[in-house]
Amino acid sequence: MTKTIGATRADIFEYVANQYGTQPEYLWASAPDYAVLRRQDNRKWYGIIMDVPCNRLGLDGNEPIDVLDLKCDPFAREILLQQHGFVPGYHLNKLHWIGVLLDGSVDKQLAYQLVDESYAIVCSTPRKRSDNKN
């Protein structure tokens, strides 16, 4: 029996705490296990971990599975969706978010790389400005 090297919820929480000082934020009483990962500098989300019934992700079964939604380049997203362990972003813009299954099917290093890319994308996203020209 081989030991899994796939990413889990605990692995992601440990990685983002060490890499970015991020602590998960639990924002919804109705979804107490949904954890938002937010940049400290601009307060934008770069990830969210949710436990979602498999059938809502297009998978077989009704049991909940942890999924990590990350911001993703649309081209890379299309490539990732062809691989096992990836689904369209759940409850977020399907063009710019990818779902990473945290059931051990996605290698930790790949998951960490995608977290880093999402963190960088959110940094480079310009904030909307209000123009008060009269």
This prediction has a pTM of 0.84
Q: Looking at the predicted structure, is the pLDDT value of residue 94 above 80?
A: no
Q: Is residue 54 part of a domain?
A: yes
Residue 118 in domain: yes
Q: Is residue 131 a part of any domain in this protein?
A: no
Range of the domain at 52: 9-124
CATH of the domain at 33: 3.90.1150.30
Residue 79 lies in a domain: yes
Summarised one tens digit per residue, pLDDT across range 10-54 is: 999 999 999 999 999 999 999 999 999 999 999 999 999 999 888
Residue 42 lies in a domain: yes
Q: Report whether pLDDT(4) > 70.
A: no
Residue 51: what residue type?
Answer: D
Domain count along the chain:
1
* Residue 100, SS3 per DSSP: strand
Does the residue 133 lie in any domain? no
Which amino acid type is present at position 131? D
Tens digit of each residue's pLDDT (9 = 90 or more) over 43-87? 999 999 999 888 888 888 889 999 999 999 989 989 998 998 999
User: What is the bridge-based pairing of β-strands 64-71 and 45-53?
Assistant: antiparallel
Is 132 a member of any domain? no
Question: CA 52, CA 62: separation in Å to the nearest integer?
Answer: 9
Q: Is residue 129 part of a domain?
A: no
